[in-house]
Each structure stands twice: as structure tokens, then as C-alpha cells.
Amino acid sequence: MTTKRVPLAAVLISLLSFVLGGIAAAQSQTQVIDDSQLHALSTTIGGASVLPTTRTVQHWFGSTLDPHDGVTYGYNMVGADPNNCNGSACSATVTADIIPLNVVVGGRTFSGQNVLAPTLVSPVFALNDYGSIPFATAAGAFPNAPALIKGPGGVLSQGDAGQQLQLQDATMRAQFNKTGSSSYHLQLNPVTHDAITIVVPRGKGTLLQSGRGVVFADVNIQWWATQIQNLTNSLGYIVPTHLPIFLTNDLVLFLGTNPSNCCVIGFHGAGPVPSHTSNGPMNGNGNQPVQTWAWASWTSPGFFARPNGGTDWALQDIHALSHEIAEWADDPFINNFVEPWLTPTAPQYGCTDILETGDPVVAIGFAIGTNSFEQGPNPNGTQSADGFYHPEDEVYLPWFMRLAPNLVSEPTQTVSTNVGRYTLMGGLNPFPGFREPATGCQ
């Protein structure tokens, strides 16, 4: 018998070809989800009742009479009471523990660590002047495509022109008309922690691909929420007076058992801190600890955002994170209830009675700052990135409380019937429904 020796190099080349071929085959088998099924939304987890003595993030309690239904609604918000503070006592700073999560789905890693640096230099934590912005969402052909497209900017918060502020600070100052020389502030002090790797088991997550070629992780919401709550309860550096922020990259959640029923891009939550010596919450004799937290996903250009400023232009990079932090600030304990509201800009939420400031304006936002992270073409060669960060617009308390005129918030950029703005963007928000109080529903 004659034995032929195959050169080692040939063997290695064959093995490499086999492996690469397998990877290519796996990528080619990733399901492409139609844009009509890409519905960005957020949710809340848990909830807790608090007292002024509760050990948690700094907060205040207020109440407002809704003249439409005659009910006085109470609410807790993060920071100092803008109506009853003086001098330096009006400035609040909350430590934000940033925990990147590297998530493995179908053998592919989605690295939260990779987006940590661009998040830290984003408007969420870095300082910017919110006096004017270069671009903002325009309606387009809403509700038909193209919708929520890139449009011209202009004056944003005229009262804070020239001030260097974090995004949420600017948002809260305009909400309560504490701009300019006001000492009122709500600031975040970011503290970063080592990345944590989570491997999603088979059946709890899958890979999907957007129409621009962006491959993303799609994970079951119940399974994911359990992981976040377990981390919140187990990480020793998390304390009730801090806000832990779990950061992921191109990971969304699906509802139920159908991965096409997506895409939750973030949530925030609250709950009593569990006891380590008994079942149930920790007993604090009136000073019980309550922990708040948030999870949000960085979204690559081309995930939602269509090319060249098309549909969902602003739904990229920190859009989800800005949404969750704003909602945490205005409803930290998930117990601020209002007269039910409904808006055509966010039909995915239906008729709801929760004071969630980002839900009515998902995918409506503006451009600010300089974003140099992954600003090249989409995987399919089109271009969605534009060199900016894209925070979400946020709806203000007077919109939910049906206050007209609105004498609570910063005046609109130009003189208006209702005086004050109902969202951060004010007159730059293209929809008439945000230039007047909310519409009721049942």
C-alpha cells in the first residue's frame, strides 16, 4: 500500500477554509427582520413605595391638580425640590455605577465594553451647550415612511444658552424653568466597573439582522430582566443611593416567545433591597433601602436608523440610555401615576397611566456633540451615521397633568398660546400634540 503525505500547510488551509465557511454560512442564515417589525420601546420593572426617610437616591415629592379630571396626582422625582430649595441645596449629584455587559448569543459576542468609552464622552455625562442644536427630528410622511426623519435644528433651550450642562441636567432645568443663573442641577457622577460576561442559553436568545445588515442580539425579556435583577442584588458595590446602569451593545428584547415581537431597547426599575439573612426585603425601621436601576442598549447606526437621515434617524447610539435616565429621574420608583394618555407617535404603548417621560416620544430626538465611534458605512454600504449623538426628546410633567397654560416649564422658543414647552425640544418637536397637553383615553 502506498501512503501519501499531505503537507501540513495544506491541512491547515483546509481547516481554516472549513471554519471560515462555517462562519459565513452561519451569518448567511441569520434571519433578516423587516423594518415593519422593528418597533423600539421600553418598559419598567418592579416598583416600590418610599418615604422621605427611605434610603435611596435623593428625591422629592410633589403633587399637581389635573384640571381635566379634577384629580390631584402625587409624584416622586430625583434630585432637589425645584419649588422649595435655595442656593447650593438645589444642586444634587447622583453616583452612576456603569456596568458594561458583554453578551454572548449564538456564539457571537456583543460587547458592552466596546461602547463604554463613547458613552462616557456622550452628552449623558459630558458637558454641552443646549442653547441650540444643528438637527432635530422632522415628521416626514408620518405615519407613513419615511417618518421621523432628520430635519433642521435651531434654538433648543434659550434660557441655558452658554451654559455647559449634562443632558439630564439640561432636561430637568428646562422642565421646571430653572435655567440661566439658577443653582438648580441634577448631575450624574459616572463610576465605571469591570465588564461582566453573560452567555444567553439556547432558546432564550437569537441573532437577527436589520435591513442595513446590522446583526443584533434578540433576547427574551423575562430571562433578561431576571439577570439584571440578580446582578443588582448581588454586586457588592451597588448601594441604594447610587444608580446602577447596565450597558449593552446592539441587544434588544422580545416579548413572549416570538423573537420577531421586538424590540425593547431599555428599561428602568426599582425595588426593596432584599435581606441577606431572611426572606423578603431588608427591615430598616422606616429607613428601608430601595434600589433603583436602569438597563439600556447602545444601538449602532443602521440598526433602526435608515440611511441618509431617513426613517428613525435619531434612533441610534445613546437614544435608549437618554430615555431611561430621563424616566428614572421623573419616575424613579415606578409609582407616579397620571390621567391615562395616548399619542399617535407611540401607539405601541396604547392607553397608559404611567408618568414615563420618554415613551410618548420614542425615536424623536436631536443631534448634539461629536460622536467618533463607528461612524462609517452600515454593513450593506449605506450611511446612517452622521457624526453626532442622538438623545431623545423628553415629555414634561405639565403635559401629563393637562396644564394649560404651562407656567411650570421653560417658555417655548417663540411666543405660544400655552407659554411653556411640553417637551425639551419645545417648538422643535414636529407634532402638534406636544404643543398642548396630553389627550385622554380609556
pLDDT confidence of residue 403: 98
Q: pLDDT tens-digit profile of 216-263?
A: 999 999 999 999 999 999 999 999 999 999 999 999 999 999 999 999
Tell me if 5 is assigned to some domain.
Answer: no
Q: What is the 3-state secondary structure (H, E, C) of the chain?
A: CCCCCCCHHHHHHHHHHHHHHHHHHHHHCCEECCHHHCCCEEEEEECCCCCCCCECCCEEEEEEEECCCCEEEEEEEECCCCCCCCHHHHEEEEEEEEEEEEEEECCEEEECHHHHHHHHCCCCCCCECCCEEEEEEEEECCCCCCEEEEEEEEECCHHHCCCCECHHHHHHHHHCCCCCCCCCEEEEEEEECCCEEEECCCCCEEEEECCCCCEEEEEEHHHHHHHHHHHHHHCCCCCCCCEEEEEEECEEEECCCCCCCEEEEEEEEEEECECCCCCCECCCCCCCEEEEEEEEEEECCCCCCCHHHCCCCCCCECHHHHHHHHHHHHCCCCCCEEEEEECCCCHHHCCEEECCCCHHHCCCEECECCCCCCCCCCCCCCCCCCCCECCECCECHHHHCCCCCECCCCECCCCCCCEECCECCHHHCCCHHHCCCCEECC
pLDDT confidence of residue 286: 56
Tell me if 14 is assigned to some domain.
Answer: no
Tell me if 149 is assigned to some domain.
Answer: yes
Domain coverage including residue 388 = 30-440
pLDDT confidence of residue 440: 84
pLDDT confidence of residue 14: 34
Tell me if 168 is assigned to some domain.
Answer: yes
pLDDT confidence of residue 161: 98
Low-confidence ranges of the chain (pLDDT < 70): 1-28, 275-286
Tell me if 253 is assigned to some domain.
Answer: yes
Tell me if 387 is assigned to some domain.
Answer: yes
Tell me if 10 is assigned to some domain.
Answer: no
Tell me if 137 is assigned to some domain.
Answer: yes
Q: pLDDT tens-digit profile of 391-412?
A: 999 999 999 999 999 999 999 9
CA-closest candidate to residue 188, choices 94, 78, 117: 94
Q: What's the number of domains the chain is made of?
A: 1
Q: pLDDT tens-digit profile of 79-116?
A: 999 999 999 999 999 999 999 999 999 999 999 999 99
pTM value?
A: 0.92
